[in-house]
Structure 1
Amino acid sequence: MPESQSKQIEKGFGQTMTAEEVMDEIEKDAVFYFHSDGGVTISGGEALVQADFAKEILQKSKYIGINTVLETSFCGAYNEIQKVAPYV
């Protein structure tokens, strides 16, 4: 019943991180990626909504030899797709 829903803002979960902070976490598990042929998957929501952020993580992961995957519906501008395409 909509009338019974609280109008208070609910506390969110998770935390805001920079691409560098995400890479620090990824690098902690690099040995597992190398020995399992695993890697980093960027997904969403829609990952292309944050194409610059995704590009930075994908680019840095590729640079240090970690496999990358981008899960997307391609619901974004073509120039956003072009930003990430070289790194997947």
Structure 2
Amino acid sequence: MKKISLLLFGLTFIISGCSNTVDRKTKMNNQLAAVENNDNYICKTVKKTGSNFNTRRCMTKEAYKRSKEAAQEALIRLGRTYTEGGTN
């Protein structure tokens, strides 16, 4: 009797965990769809180095502009400190 009740408890726990994951994914997909339809956001598919999985990144146009400018400034700073042959 104890084994049956323990088994039922375990199955209930597993099933409730699966439904929670599905609800969370549905909620995230709905939020992503709402953001993609908003003209104030830019969404891109990004592939992380060393991974086979793509992720969808969305940010405001202003945040995208700041990120792009920061990356360009970093490249400029790197270009100033780098010389061929590895010596400064």
Q: Which range, TM-score by smaller chain?
A: under 0.3
Higher strand content, 1 or 2: 2
TM norm structure 2? 0.24
TM-score (norm 1): 0.24
The answer to which structure, 1 or 2, has the higher relative contact order (CA under 8 A, 6+ apart) is 1
**Who wins on radius of gyration, i.e. which is larger?**
2
